[in-house]
Chain A
Amino acid sequence: DTGVSQDPRHKITKRGQNVTFRCDPISEHNRLYWYRQTLGQGPEFLTYFQNEAQLEKSRLLSDRFSAERPKGSFSTLEIQRTEQGDSAMYLCASSLAIGGGYGYTFGSGTRLTVV
């Protein structure tokens, strides 16, 4: 297994356009998380899935953001009508929820620049 994969690595888009990011977790991990990190800050939680069910969404996740995890495998995060404030690194992580003693593995991230 090559770890958590994210695509694309970089995305530059014009304000108002829609963008979609993809995350492929570690295959045996049933939990998948999305975080957003702006320059000089720690990552902020956006949402997470257990298998295909979206269990929690942050208040940060406005109605322009939507995430899916069809069939409990890869996940997509879509941002509609992008704004300059959406410029950030979007990080995906996965974990195996077995009741304890597990950790989170992060992907390399997708850096979004809205111009």
Chain B
Amino acid sequence: ELKVEQNPLFLSMQEGKNYTIYCNYSTTSDRLYWYRQDPGKSLESLFVLLSNGAVKQEGRLMASLDTKARLSTLHITAAVHDLSATYFCAVEATSGSRLTFGEGTQLTVNP
């Protein structure tokens, strides 16, 4: 059974600082997704990583995938308050079947 673990689960950081969220998964997969969720809202797609070594960047967020290590990272650069949300990684075991989500990382960016 595919398991996805994120850490940290809670992250409080100051504006302007950098930090990384880690996502480990238990079985072979080369498809990993990152989502953002604001309280009471649905999931907003951030990144789709489809191969080993994939790196994508959007604004202050950068995601990477190492399929050999079964690890993805979401790096936050110079955090701002608007990034406060819960971030989920999700792994697709086989193409188009379904996603298995991590528990989420609740990020709070303080002024």
Contacts and interface: CB of A to CB of B under 8 A. Distances in A.
Interface of A: 31, 33, 35, 40-45, 48, 55-56, 91, 95, 97, 99-109, 111
A91 B42 contact: yes
A40 B101 CA distance: 12
Contacts of B45: 103-106
A42 B104 contact: yes
A35 B98 CA distance: 10
Contacts, number: 55
Interface residues of B, number: 22
Nearest to B101: A42
Interface of B: 4, 33, 35, 40-43, 45, 48, 50, 88, 90, 95-104
B42 A104 contact: no
9 nearest A-B residue pairs (beta carbon) = A42-B101, A97-B96, A106-B43, A45-B98, A108-B42, A103-B48, A106-B42, A109-B42, A43-B101
B102 A101 contact: no
Contacts of A108: 41-42
Contacts of B43: 43, 91, 106
Given A42-B104, A103-B33, A48 B97 contact: yes
Contacts of B100: 45
A56 B42 contact: no
B95 A99 contact: yes
B104 A56 contact: no
Given A40-B104, A45-B99, A100-B50, 13 more contacts: A33-B98, A33-B99, A42-B88, A42-B103, A42-B104, A55-B97, A56-B97, A91-B42, A101-B50, A102-B96, A103-B33, A103-B45, A106-B43
